[in-house]
Amino acid sequence: MKDLTTGSEAGLIFKFALPMVAGNLFQQLYNIVDSIIVGKYLGTEALAAVGASFPLFYTLIAFIIGIGSGATIVISQYFGARRLDKVKQAIGTIYLFMFGAGIILTIIGITFSKQIFTLLGIGDDVMPQAVTYFNIYMVGMVGFFGFNGTTSVLRGLGDSKTPLIFLAVATVVNIVLDLLFVIVFEWGIAGVAWATVIAQMGAFITAIFYLNKRDHLIHFSIKSLTFDSYSFMQSVRIGLPTGFQQTFVALGMMALIRIINNFDTVTLAAYTAASRIDALAAMPAMNLASALSAFVGQNLGAGKVERIRKGVWATQKMAWAISLAVMLLVIFFGKPLMAMFNDDPEVIRQGREYLIIVCSFYIVFSSMFVLHGTLRGAGDTLIPMFITLVSLWLIRIPTAWFLSQHLGESGIWWSIPSGWIIGLIGTWIYYKSGRWKSKSVVKEQLPEK
């Protein structure tokens, strides 16, 4: 456990974010390895199938992950206020919710996957592999949500190091199983999906065994889990807007896929590979924002508002520096990075074009995410939801459709930073209003120190 209410703001946030960055590097690494193996050994159609599956998967999980982020804030604020009895109740509640959600979404996803892919306009050359990959992936939902629930709890308690250990192990297992199932056993795209399912479930089971032996606050046992309605409602109050926000983003990704499918399989494959690199490049800023959320939650619970202001400014400066470095790296090495995924020259060309356009605006993206992290940590998630809704559905998607008619696939790429710019402006205006300071879950505030 880590107390974030005392000490250097920049140092605490950086040290807290560092394991999260490393952990997500591992997580993105096995997503990238999946795509490289698929693109190199199974072909362009299989790579497109993986790309088509991700937005659908993200749409199904986004709302639940949003509620989980609400639980992180509830736990961090209770922990900051030293209400350990409420911390334990909140932990049991989020586990029960995640398990129930995992079972329900598995059934829904497998039942309706083919119909949804049809609505997305997936071509006949991609459809069979997309359905196969997605349905197997959904089998691992309980393990996926179980591990993400554990990660949410630990981050709320100020521990970002422990999840790193299990993510590292899961990544190695995933890569080894990818190579075994695809190259040795020749299971095709099904082997890639089974490798991920096994790795995720293994990470969750291993984490539970470890925590049961090490931590008195997190003792996982089905019999000992209790559901606390107040903790759940607070998690929903905070997480519901974030859940909707993530769902809007996920549906926006599906809408983008629908526009991309107006072109050909090559464009979808290029988008799949480039978006993997993009996700990796944007990750440091996102993790700094997540670290800032835990920092804000604990300090707001402790009544230390001035520390929050200093923490926000320190996080912005770190995010800008990292974004600039990543932007230059992606611009200069975009072509060889794309060549790792596929040998088709047109896939490489379109993917590199995506990277140059999008990564040029990483500083805008990181600034927006840091401010979103501040508001989430305070438990103020409703206004960011509306800002996301406007920037995505009134700016990005219409812009993607319009520009794709005149500029081709590059018009779709230009629509992405256009949404970021509007999102940053709206979030900055609301942050400066200061209304987020009154959103604490903990009613008995400690005096400002």
Residue 311 and residue 292 in contact, taking contact as beta carbons nearer than 8 Å: yes
Question: If we measure between CA atoms, which residue out of 91, 417, 426 comes closest to residue 228?
Answer: 91
Pick from 30-34, 192-196, 353-357, 443-447: least confident: 443-447
Q: Is the pLDDT of residue 369 over 60?
A: yes
Q: Supply 302's token pair.
A: 């402790």
CA distance 94 to 84: 16
Give the pLDDT band (50/70/90) at residue 217.
low
pLDDT at position 446 = 39
What token pair was written down for 6? 């005392």
The encoded tokens of residue 117 equal 């892919």
Please tell me which residue, 211 or 91, carries the higher pLDDT value: 91
**Percent of the chain at pLDDT above 70?**
94
pLDDT higher at 240 or 332: 332
Mean pLDDT of 288-311: 85
The pLDDT tens digits for 112-121 are 999 989 988 8
Per the prediction, the chain carries an average pLDDT of 85
Domain ranges of the chain: 9-438
Q: What is the pTM of this model?
A: 0.71
* Closest by Cα among 397, 399, 415, 405 to 252: 397
d(CA 273, CA 342): 8
Location of structure tokens 């320190």? 314
Spatial CA neighbour of 258 closest among 114, 124, 401: 401
Specify the residue for token string 């490049």: 281
Average pLDDT on 285-292 reads 88
Q: Are 231 and 86 in contact (CB under 8 A)?
A: yes
What radius of gyration, in Å, describes the C-alpha atoms of the chain? 21
Please report the pLDDT score of residue 398 as a whole number. Answer: 95
CB 280 within 8 A of CB 32: yes
Higher pLDDT residue, 287 or 222?
287
